[in-house]
């Protein structure tokens, strides 16, 4: 995903000299091609994420398109006030790139887990949130991000993510919800981020009968498409490598209630959320090891093929 990010960034920056990249003393062995080609459009702010967000807002309000980049919590939670007041309030054209969503940096421990970002950032005004599942989705997500005026947050995996889409996506524009498995079943699973590939393997391994959708555009959630997808569903399951409190599952549940009250869906389906309990995890380990600590029991109530 990071390789795709750099490729797309180089392509866009070669056409637009107003694109700037700011990092928080990270991105080594990742951004060297950009730094070499566009040295005047790159700033390493150092381990000072609050300053990075403020500088980015100033550049953006001067007509620049600014990307800020760091690991998981650092460009989000550490500088939340600056994102809220300097970036979102002014609708500044700043793109926040978080690498290491979920348990990507599982060996670094809780300080590096990216499991609260969606729930916290989706409360901020004017901020769009993207969470692509693999490199193919990242390519379209970056193009969406760079062409969108105003603040956008995109969360990526750290490295060596599994491929979900074997071929480039046919759509030229990022779809809000992308079908992965379609069995015309009554059970709909909606997943965000890189855990979607992990989930896909579980579904195939256990021969679960369901429809699986990747949701790369988390916020604003596409209400019309959601209503169309679940109109005949008896069960809806959301999956996220993120805490349950206020996360993607909560957003879908809130939206379903709105759709029911507005008459866009007739029946509120049986609903389950799969994600991370809102308890700090003391354990460390690789990403798959920590993912297996998530309770996937809601999946296995389905009949197998």
CATH number of the domain within which 236 lies: 3.40.50.920
With a CB cutoff of 8 Å and minimum separation 6, the contacts of 76 are 83, 96, 98, 117, 120, 121, 153
For residue 242, give its domain range.
178-301
> 285 falls in which pLDDT band (50, 70, 90)?
very high
Domains: count for the chain: 2
With a CB cutoff of 8 Å and minimum separation 6, the contacts of 300 are 206, 208
Read off the pLDDT of residues 271-283 as tens digits, 9 standing for 90 and up: 999 999 988 888 9
Residue 305 has pLDDT above 60, yes or no: no
Read off the pLDDT of residues 77-92 as tens digits, 9 standing for 90 and up: 999 999 999 999 999 9
- Point out the least confidently predicted range of 74-88, 136-150, 170-184: 170-184
In terms of domains, do 130 and 240 share one?
no
Distance separating alpha carbons of residues 190 and 284, to the nearest angstrom: 27
Record the tokens describing residue 165, joined without a space. Answer: 């889409």
Whether 199 is in a domain gets the answer yes
Whether 170 is in a domain gets the answer no
With a CB cutoff of 8 Å and minimum separation 6, the contacts of 40 are none
Residue 170 has a pLDDT of: 79
In terms of domains, do 96 and 190 share one?
no
- Are the C-beta atoms of 69 and 100 separated by less than 8 Å? no
Read off the pLDDT of residues 200-232 as tens digits, 9 standing for 90 and up: 999 999 999 999 999 999 999 999 999 999 999
What pTM was estimated for this model as a whole?
0.95
Distance separating alpha carbons of residues 128 and 253, to the nearest angstrom: 19
**CA angle at residue 101 from 112 to 190, to 5 degrees?**
145
Residue 303 has pLDDT above 50, yes or no: no
Residue 29 has a pLDDT of: 85
> 172 falls in which pLDDT band (50, 70, 90)?
confident
> 304 falls in which pLDDT band (50, 70, 90)?
very low
Q: Which of 207, 225, 205 is nearest to 215 (CA)?
A: 225
Whether 239 is in a domain gets the answer yes
Domain boundary among 108, 124, 156: 156
Residue 161 has a pLDDT of: 85
Whether 161 is in a domain gets the answer no
CATH number of the domain bearing residue 60: 3.40.50.970
Read off the pLDDT of residues 225-237 as tens digits, 9 standing for 90 and up: 999 999 999 999 9
């Amino acid at each position: 995903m990071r390789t795709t990010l750099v490729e797309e960034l180089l392509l866009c920056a070669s056409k637009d000299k107003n694109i700037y990249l700011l990092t928080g003393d990270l991105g080594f062995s990742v951004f060297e091609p950009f730094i070499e080609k566009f040295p005047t459009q790159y700033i390493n702010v150092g381990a000072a994420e609050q300053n990075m967000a403020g500088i980015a807002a100033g550049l953006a309000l001067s007509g620049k398109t600014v990307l800020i980049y760091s690991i998981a919590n650092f460009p989000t939670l550490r500088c939340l006030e600056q994102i809220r007041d300097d970036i979102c309030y002014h609708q500044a054209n700043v793109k926040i790139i978080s690498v290491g969503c979920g348990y990507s940096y599982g060996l670094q421990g809780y300080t590096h887990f990216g499991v609260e970002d969606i729930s916290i950032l989706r409360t901020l005004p004017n901020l769009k949130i993207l969470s692509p599942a693999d490199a193919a989705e990242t390519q379209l997500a970056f193009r969406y991000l760079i062409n969108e005026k105003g603040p956008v947050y995109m969360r990526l995996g750290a490295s060596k993510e599994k491929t979900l889409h074997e071929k480039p996506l046919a759509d030229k524009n990022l779809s809000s919800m992308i079908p992965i498995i379609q069995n015309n079943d009554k059970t709909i699973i909606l997943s965000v981020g890189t855990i979607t590939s992990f989930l896909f393997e579980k579904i195939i391994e256990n021969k679960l009968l369901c429809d699986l959708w990747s949701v790369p555009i988390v916020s604003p959630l596409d209400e019309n498409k959601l209503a169309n997808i679940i109109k005949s569903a008896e069960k809806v399951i959301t999956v996220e490598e993120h805490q349950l409190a206020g996360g993607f599952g909560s957003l879908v549940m809130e939206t379903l209630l709105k759709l029911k009250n507005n008459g866009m869906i007739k029946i509120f389906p049986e609903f389950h959320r799969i994600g991370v309990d809102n308890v700090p995890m003391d354990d460390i380990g690789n990403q798959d090891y920590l993912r297996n600590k998530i309770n996937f029991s809601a999946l296995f109530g389905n009949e197998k093929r």
